[in-house]
Amino acid sequence: MPLVHVSLRTGKPEVYRQAIFDSLYRAMRETLGVPEDDQFMTISEHEAANFRYGASCFGITRSDDVVFIQITVFNTRTPEQKKALFQRTAELLGESPGIQPENVFVNVLEAAKENWSVGHGLAQFA
């Protein structure tokens, strides 16, 4: 049950943004075993004045095409699954929409199953 938030600089066409959604969903399906149609994702676009990144932090050279991806998941994923997710995400975003791997910044947040309600005011996974 991932919840995904993507932040990027404004100005990319709709087809680019949709490719981000598609590539992220595929990466999560392949590495985290996300069920079919489990797609809860947003993209937020930011003007240059409202979007800052370390252009060379940690020895990685980034450009204005950097995307910040924050994925909240159940706290049941292994370190190996998360590593696979990071790698596959960079690969697929490189293929479509063509984001360089140095511009793929991913953060995984974990939450216990009892912290989720996906509708009707119920704790479906508790």
Closest alpha carbon to 23 in 89, 100, 87: 89
Quote the CA–CA distance of 8 and 37 in Å, as a whole number. Answer: 24
- 96: domain CATH number is 3.30.429.10
Please indicate, yes or no, if residue 124 is contained in any of the structural domains.
Answer: no
121 occurs within a structural domain = no
Q: What is the DSSP string of 52-66?
A: ---SSGGG----TT-
Residue 42 lies in domain: 3-115
Q: Point out the residues that are catalytic.
A: 2
On whether residue 78 sits in a domain, the answer given is yes
Q: Answer whether residue 125 is part of any domain.
A: no
pLDDT tens digits, one per residue of 45-62: 999 999 999 999 999 999
- Evaluate whether residue 97 is within a structural domain: yes
Domain-embedded: residue 74: yes
Predicted local confidence at residue 86, as pLDDT: 98
Confidence (pTM): 0.95
- Contact between residue 125 and residue 88 where contact means Cβ atoms under 8 Å apart: no
Q: Give the pLDDT confidence score for residue 87 in this predicted structure.
A: 98
In a domain, 88, yes or no: yes
- Cβ distance 112 to 121 under 8 Å? no
Structurally, how many domains does the chain consist of?
Answer: 1
